Amino acid sequence: MTDNKNANELLQWGLRNAPARPDGSSSVAEVSEAIAQGRRPDLADPGLFDALMGKSEAQMMREELAVGSDTRRSVEDRTTALDNFEMLIETVDNANNMQNMNMWPAVVHLLQEPTPAIQQASAWIVGTAVQNNDKGQVAALEHGALARLLELLSSPSKDVRNKAMYGIGAMIKNFPYAALQFSELHGWDALHAGLLDSSIAVRSKVAFLLNQLLSEDASHAVPNTHSAPPTSDAHAPLEKGPATLQFSAPAPDVAKAMVDHRILDTLLASVLPNATQAAATCDGEPTRSYLDYAGKAVQTLVTYSAHAPVPREAFQALLAELDAAPSA
């Protein structure tokens, strides 16, 4: 509707501003009359405006999502369309338009399809739409994306699990209310299982997310000494905070959750010498992939120890295994 209105306004502007011929007639006026009389069907084609001016990104989003949701199309066509949609929403404005254009229900429905390629593509869309985007995080949570992503962590496809973990991390970071729902949906148990995943890529995402959540937890513990604006800014307009902080929810106690759900023990065990040897070729992935995971895991342990005591029994288990490990 908006594009047609713009096209009509553009035509009217052209009629008003077209240069007149020496005899005072207007070539634009003649063409307009020919269109009205049906003598120029080529110019009456509604697709002509798109061809001349280019489709709006909103229109392209609609078309790509429509193809991606069409179960009559081939999986290849659908995944290509969903990949195109994901590229379009890399800009925050387009990602936020998903809510304005009522696209979230269709995307969440795609997460529940049985085809792994469609699950993977739709999980990627969710992650991209909410990454560093507070409004997108709220919209995705309201439409139930978090529960669907957690379900995908049990997929037999490591690519689906990988993209689901990406989406989960992007949804709950800096969003206490989402983290609360995450806890209620047994998300901490899912993270524990993620640390035992056969894919090092999934393990790396879990370790990275835990480190970020621990860092957020620590920042929430620091008293806010700047709750009131400086006197000189007393008349400055108030700005709304992030949409993710408009909900009343306590920040999760990440360190406690890591202990209660055996995440800390598993994280420690995963960087011990015997675990390193076993995981170096995990799921056929190269050693450097494990080293990337190990670096993230160690950083998470460092962050944990910076603001929470590591249980004595965990250290004792670590020392026992180190003592039992053969010397190099």
Q: How far apart are CA 199 and CA 281, in angstroms?
A: 10
The three-state secondary structure class of 156 is coil
Task: Please report, for residues 201, 279, 289, the alpha-carbon distance to residue 283 in angstroms, rounded to integers and kept in the order given.
Answer: 10, 8, 11
Least confident window among 85-89, 199-203, 246-250? 246-250
What is the C-alpha R_g of the chain?
A: 27
Q: Which two tokens stand for residue 270?
A: 């995963």
Is the predicted pLDDT of residue 180 greater than 90, yes or no? yes
Q: Which two tokens stand for residue 16?
A: 């008003």
| 63-72, 223-232, 238-247 — most confident range | 63-72
Cβ neighbours of 171 (radius 10 Å): 26
Q: How far apart are CA 86 and CA 123, in angstroms?
A: 10
Q: Amino acid identity of 246? A: Q
Q: How far is CA 264 from the centre of its chain?
A: 26
pLDDT mean over 66-81: 97
pLDDT band at 269 (very low <50, low <70, confident <90, very high): confident
Is the predicted pLDDT of residue 237 greater than 50, yes or no? no
Q: Are 172 and 182 in contact (CB under 8 A)?
A: yes
